[in-house]
Amino acid sequence: MSHFVKCPFCSSEVHYLLIQSHVNACLDLNEAAPSDQPPAKLRRLMAPPAGIPRDESHLQEAPPAGMHQHPQRLCSLVPASSSGQRTFRDNLSGGGLNGMEWVGTTTVTKEAEASIAPVSSSRQRGDESSSNKLVSVGTRLCDVAVCRRFLQRNAQCDSRTLLLECRQRLTWNVPTTNIGGKAGTYHREMCAVATQQLLATSKDTAKGVHDARDASGSTTPAMYDHVPLLDSVRHEVENLLDNKWEFNYCLLNRYRDGRDFVGPHSDHEDNIVKGSPIVTVSLGCTRDFVLESRDDIQAVTKEKLTLMMRDGDLLVMPTGCQQVYKHGVPARRNLLGERISLTFRVVKALM
């Protein structure tokens, strides 16, 4: 019995659980429009081979359009007694998120999975019909917010052009690490962009690239003006959040293909302005973004949420998120396409 199926575009043999992401990468490479994709055929390919129970846990997505119309049903999935720890919702809604729509929370309990099943089975790739506003999704610990196809809908930005401009106009490097005397390298390329004002007011601009304390290889961030399209996307992101924050710093990650990854971590927030969110916009190849509860918090159960971040999708990690979740982009060795993530932050100074 084989777990591998043939990609309709490049004919390579791919594990059935990875075929959707793989096809996305193929479409990217061939510059095909999403409508060229044969959804029925793809769905057939994604079905588990006979006799293999399906585990969709790592293919879970944000709630599709319409889900927010049933808040009671979703909210009722979380027993009132278990919501004591959920203090982060207020940070988001109080933060004035424009058009925020709560869909309640989901949990990873078996009962919850069973109740969600009828909704999730109707999920489809593309999300053409989903909201162009933020939709919240989360676990008992913390909600994050997602806006599918933000770039296409709100910034009216050609994501391919933005990806190419970021790749070509910025200087990328692979940071090195030295943990306990052991040298290593990151498995992705990074660079950063900052506002003129942030650069002007920071004493040591060369240290601004990484928020990981153990990384070296930093370079001075480029100025936003250097990539005007990125600057206009920044303004659209600010707009989405009611211009409450000025995202004066953007840390960019480039995953050259599915072998590049970032392991589970929480961002250091020493340098982040208190209360501000971290907003990520994805360009290029679809990758899984995994949120899981930190080992050092007292969770009732281990919470885990996997979101597929597609080209143009936006994700908001509100303040408080880093305290309860680790997040990461795991390697997916069969993926061929590249992804760039733009992580917009509000920082105090470069340091």
Is residue 218 a contact point for ligand AKG (CB under 6 A)? no
Is residue 28 a contact point for Fe ion (CB under 5 A)? no
CA distance 169 to 221: 12
The count of residues interacting with ligand AKG (CB under 6 A) is 10
Residue of minimal CB distance from ligand AKG?
341
Q: To which H or E segment does residue 44 belong?
A: helix 39-46
Is residue 322 a contact point for ligand AKG (CB under 6 A)? no
Of 303 and 338, nearer to ligand AKG (C-beta) is 338
Is residue 189 a contact point for Fe ion (CB under 5 A)? no
**Is 248 labelled a binding residue?**
no
**Is 253 labelled a binding residue?**
yes
Cross-strand bridge partners of residue 287 = 309
When binding is defined by CB under 6 A, the residue of 127, 260, 267, 269 that contacts ligand AKG is 267
**Is 327 labelled a binding residue?**
yes
Q: Cβ neighbours of residue 270 under 8 Å, at least 6 residues apart?
A: none
- Take residue 43 and report the two structure tokens written for it: 């769905």
CA distance 243 to 237: 8
Is residue 267 a contact point for Fe ion (CB under 5 A)? yes
Stretch that binds Fe ion, among 81-89, 160-168, 212-220, 265-273 (CB under 5 A): 265-273
Is residue 311 a contact point for ligand AKG (CB under 6 A)? no
Q: Which of 56, 90, 73, 35 is nearest to 308 (CA)?
A: 56
Q: Tell the smallest beta-carbon distance from residue 63 to ligand AKG (Å).
A: 19
CA distance 94 to 96: 5
CA 126 to chain CA centroid, Å, is 16
Q: Tell the smallest beta-carbon distance from residue 317 to ligand AKG (Å).
A: 9
CA 177 to chain CA centroid, Å, is 24
The contact set with ligand AKG (CB under 6 A) reads: 251, 253, 262, 267, 280, 289, 327, 329, 341, 343
